[in-house]
Amino acid sequence: MSNPSMLDRDRAAASGSQPNNESNESFGDILSQYEQAHSHRPEEGGKGLEGTVIAVSGESVFLDIGYKTEGIIPLAEFQKTGDVVKPGDKLPVSIKGRDPEGYYELSRIKVERPKDWASLEKAFADKTPIAGVITAVVKGGVSVDVGVRAFMPASRSGAKDAADMEKLIGQEISCRIIKLDVADEDVVVDRRVILEDEERVAKERRYTEVKEGETVSGTVRSLTDYGAFVDIGGVDALLHVADISWGRVNKPADVLTVGQQVEAKVLKVDTAKRRISLGMKQLLPHPWDLAGEKYKAGERIQGTVTRVADFGAFVELEKGVEGLIHLSEMSWSKKVRKPSDVVKAGDQVDVVILGVNQADRRISLGLKQALGDPWADVAQKFPMGTVAEGVVTSLQKFGAFVQIAEGVEGMIHVGDVSAEKRINHPQDVLKVGQTVKAQVLEVDAEKRRLRLGMKQLVPSSLDEYIAEHKEGDVVTGRMTDVSSGRAKVELGEGIQGTCRLSADAPDKEEQAEPSANLSSLSNMLQTKWKGGQGGGTKREAARSGQIRSFRIVKLDAAAKKIELEIA
């Protein structure tokens, strides 16, 4: 409050009346004395001033300090420490200067300045904070007025450099006496320990203020491989790498920089351990919310392989949405033993969506389906009789499997491996990885079966016979099986043809010879064998064992078939 006598003097000057003892003073003299009495010198700024809060605005706190002009303190200083002020509150303050609008700039004094050496000794013994005003920068630190001249080392000033120390001149600070020698009048003070205590208290208060689920703003202070530390107002919170984005982030430095301003959601607060966990991705909608509508089975899509496991490869379809290509869906070939044989992290791949499970957030993908089914045109590529070349992929007791195209394997039965000898196991003549040629014997694309034969490629007596004859040639053979209008004809050892029989009735004259003796029948067969026609004019009825002349109607080397007719 203002000095009563001075107020009376002001009122007298304002009313035109004057006290008896000052009857010769002018109004100007009185005002000059008033200003002089209330003037402020920096070195006296902290001595016994008490301010009364008269108003609080959105940015400032206004105080009556007993002077003609009010003092002002930024509201942020109270908010920073968590203090609440209201009109009528009384605060110890000191004057730092004036702002452009003429208000006194004040600083808060939370502790009293010692009045004598006894007070200094007590503060030193009790390690209690005291107030002081920094008066000058000296060698190695600053000079501080704490009632007596004290020294504060630069390392204990809380300033970062010499420029910061210069800014401290004239400021009122709280400090602690760390050395006191009454005899030599030597006092050393420490401001840094007070700042550290205030910081610790502010942090503890901040841990209780932050609530799980709220959104906070902060500054990235440092980056590690596992996350980023974010300053959210005096305390560091951890933003784990997995909570930065719904997409896969290998390391925080790929998406964040030190000093960057970020917004994040408070995921967890552990007051006891002083830990706060943050998440940035939690402020964004989860991409899986629409995955069920966006991705349909059967669709072809491109993605990036993010990681490869023993059972398959994970493919990122978009940020936060991954699908799995199982090992069995990587290739039509059975030779793939591990996913890394086909893909690696970072590969761009085309895949087909096999299934979507939105509830479990799983998408099944197929790589081989995107390449097309190799069995779709096997019948056209490898018709029966075709000679194919391939690599032996596996050997079983019953046969060998040979890959003749990507995703297409055929089987050579053990009985079709060799024409020269009978083998008990394919490994007797084949080995895995060996390249072989085989003839396509049977194709069943629907069941994905292909039967091959190696021995069929070895020239046989039938191949030689076909090579030595042409269609139209007349040859001799013996009927071995006559039925249903067709007959099998033996043309030589291991050589057989087929003959279609005519529907003509047997010759009557031949039917009337039941009493012919065995000798005449043998002579007749011998004559027919030598002469082809047997010298007779009548055609014999076809029967098994009969030797006759035949005309070659068709030779099929690929199918190893000979078609005949009776000559």
28 confidence band (pLDDT: 50, 70, 90): very low
Give pLDDT tens digits for 242-257. 999 888 888 899 999 9
Q: Which residue has the higher pLDDT, 263 or 507?
A: 263
Give pLDDT tens digits for 73-86. 998 888 877 788 89
Decide if 157 contacts 192 (C-beta within 8 A): yes
**Domain annotation covers residue 277:** yes
DSSP state, residue 445: T
Tell me what the pLDDT averaged over the chain comes to. 80
**Domain annotation covers residue 424:** yes
Domain containing residue 54: 4-108
Q: Which residue has the higher pLDDT, 386 or 503?
A: 386
Burial 66-76 (b: 16+ CB within 10 A, else e): ebeebbbbeee
**Domain annotation covers residue 366:** no
Do 355 and 266 reside in the same domain of the chain? no
Residues linked to residue 10 through DSSP beta bridges, in sequence order: none
| Rounded distance between C-alpha atoms, residue 137 and residue 143, angstroms | 6
Please say which residue of 360, 386, 413 terminates a domain.
360
The structure tokens listed for 342 are: 């086909």
Do 8 and 103 reside in the same domain of the chain? yes
pLDDT at 112: 59
Decide if 106 contacts 73 (C-beta within 8 A): yes
Q: Quickly list H helices, 171-213.
A: 192-209
CB atoms within 10 A of CB 391: 15
Please say which residue of 260, 283, 306 terminates a domain.
283
pLDDT at 516: 39
Q: Which residues contact 133 (CB under 8 A, 6 or more apart)?
A: 42, 43, 45, 46, 94, 144, 145, 170, 171, 172, 173
CB atoms within 10 A of CB 557: 12
Q: Which residue has the higher pLDDT, 539 or 418?
A: 418
CB atoms within 10 A of CB 368: 21
Decide if 409 contacts 400 (C-beta within 8 A): no
Domain count, the chain: 6
Give pLDDT tens digits for 274-302. 889 999 998 988 888 878 788 888 889 99
pLDDT at 455: 84
CATH of residue 492's domain is 2.40.50.140
Residues linked to residue 236 through DSSP beta bridges, in sequence order: 231
Do 13 and 102 reside in the same domain of the chain? yes
Mean pLDDT for the stretch of residues 347-362: 89
Do 134 and 68 reside in the same domain of the chain? no
**Domain annotation covers residue 146:** yes
Decide if 199 contacts 74 (C-beta within 8 A): no
Do 263 and 304 reside in the same domain of the chain? no
The structure tokens listed for 191 are: 């401001």
pLDDT at 263: 92
- Confidence check: pLDDT of 205 > 70: yes
Give pLDDT tens digits for 35-86. 344 344 433 444 457 889 999 998 899 999 888 889 999 988 888 777 888 9
The structure tokens listed for 450 are: 């292909």
- Confidence check: pLDDT of 228 > 70: yes
Please say which residue of 329, 360, 391 terminates a domain.
360
Q: Which residue has the higher pLDDT, 107 or 244?
A: 244
The one-letter amino acid at 40: H
The one-letter amino acid at 201: V
Q: Which one of 6-10, 15-19, 113-117, 192-196 scores highest in mean pLDDT?
A: 192-196
Do 59 and 143 reside in the same domain of the chain? no
pLDDT at 35: 39
111 confidence band (pLDDT: 50, 70, 90): low
Decide if 92 contacts 65 (C-beta within 8 A): no
pLDDT at 497: 93
Do 444 and 471 reside in the same domain of the chain? no
**Domain annotation covers residue 389:** yes
- Confidence check: pLDDT of 31 > 50: no
Do 473 and 396 reside in the same domain of the chain? no
Q: Which residues contact 418 (CB under 8 A, 6 or more apart)?
A: 429, 454, 455
Do 153 and 249 reside in the same domain of the chain? no
**Domain annotation covers residue 203:** no
DSSP state, residue 4: H
Chain-centre distance of CA 543, in angstroms? 81
| Rounded distance between C-alpha atoms, residue 292 and residue 279, angstroms | 25
* Span of 88-102, 183-197, 210-224, 431-445 with lowest mean pLDDT: 88-102
**Domain annotation covers residue 368:** no
